[in-house]
Amino acid sequence: MVASVIDGVRIAGLVSCLPGRRETLDHLSARFGEEAAKRIGKATGIHARHLAGPGECTSDLAEHAARTLLDRLGWEPGGVDLLILVTQTPDHPLPASGLLLHRRLGLAKSAAVFDMGLGCSGYVYGLWTAAALLKAAGGRRALLLAGDTTSRVLDPGDRAVAPLFGDAASATALEVDTDAPPMAFTLGSDGAGAPYLIVPGGGMRAPDEPKHLFMDGTQVFAFTLREVPGSLKAVLDLAGWSMAEVGRVVLHQANAQMIRHLGQKIGARPDQTVVALDGHGNTSSASIPLAITDTLGSALAAGPMRLLLSGFGVGWSWGSAAVTAGPLEVCATMTLDSISVSAETAG
């Protein structure tokens, strides 16, 4: 397990962006039957999800989140030194979607830009990477964009996955600040989990197979209970925090029962543990920042709060972070009624 402490970098703001199209349990009732839809909602805590419409891509959601964040912070795009896009649903196999966003946002040619192909652990990995590179490379400001349009790789008739995943993207602004409290990270990987959460078709290995997500829920649950509590306890020790000193525990929002169970295993009180997937579902790499912008905007605007974060899933891959955030200049969720995408904008 990688253990890392990074000081002198602060989170300046967060914005999450949801597509306007929405699917509820009523829609699932029409597809799977009313009783099945009710069971899905009760078992997962998910009652609605936002889904990308025709022509809407991850980069479009990320662009609107980033533009809103830059505008509200008063940051000039040319002053951003680093842009990282975390996604498993890029616009194209190449070029990297981060480069499309570089042009659309108007960043300087001196900015470093790249994509990270991670899913549910991706926000924590991206936060670690962005903070570390800012310090190591002598930059000043970074944009961490994280999001997925997982609905693009779902079989709508597969009740094991179709009712669970929603689409979203987020933008996080990071800035070098010598007075910022340290961030602590623990990160781990186990590639043996690859077959249990996978889109096997559509890539170079099997280009002609269906591009549909497969998930073995039993294996996912077992992996989560096996690895995540230890990662969370390790990052608390690394930060020198007790659970009583944590303001909120924000875990990857995959399943409400799983979130509550993990919270209990690490000794978190119910009021410390954020459960915010009822109207969004599992939004993959965007789920942690979306949970923060949905539930903690007022609290983080008012002053600093200690946050215990953990993302875990596809790979297997997991990462936990102990971060003090706030006061934030912006922490908001936006919903787009529609996104107009032209050939010029798209690439």
120 catalytic, yes or no? Answer: yes
Strands (E), the chain: 2-6, 9-19, 22-24, 48-50, 82-86, 112-116, 141-148, 168-176, 183-189, 197-198, 214-215, 248-251, 305-313, 317-325, 330-336
Quickly tell me which residue has 């533009």 as its tokens.
67
Q: 25-57 in b/e burial notation, b at 16+ Cβ within 10 A?
A: beebeeebeeeebeebbeebbbbbbbbbbeebb
The single residue of 120, 212, 280, 331 carrying the catalytic annotation is 120
The single residue of 252, 255, 280, 331 carrying the catalytic annotation is 252
57 catalytic, yes or no? Answer: no
Taking Cα atoms as reference points, which of 117, 148, 337 lies closest to residue 254?
148
Ramachandran category for residue 313: left, alpha or beta (phi over 0 → left; psi -120 to 50 → alpha): left
CA gap 187, 320 in Å, rounded: 6
CA distances from 193 to 114, 198, 227, 316 (A): 25, 9, 12, 5
> Residues 76, 107: contact at Cβ < 8 Å?
no
Quickly tell me which residue has 């077992």 as its tokens.
222
282 catalytic, yes or no? Answer: yes
* Residues contacting residue 42 through CB under 8 Å, at least 6 positions apart: none
* Size of the chain in residues: 347
The single residue of 57, 102, 282, 331 carrying the catalytic annotation is 282
Phi, psi at 54, each rounded to 5°:
-55, 130
CB atoms within 10 A of CB 2: 11
Give me the active site residues, please: 120, 252, 282
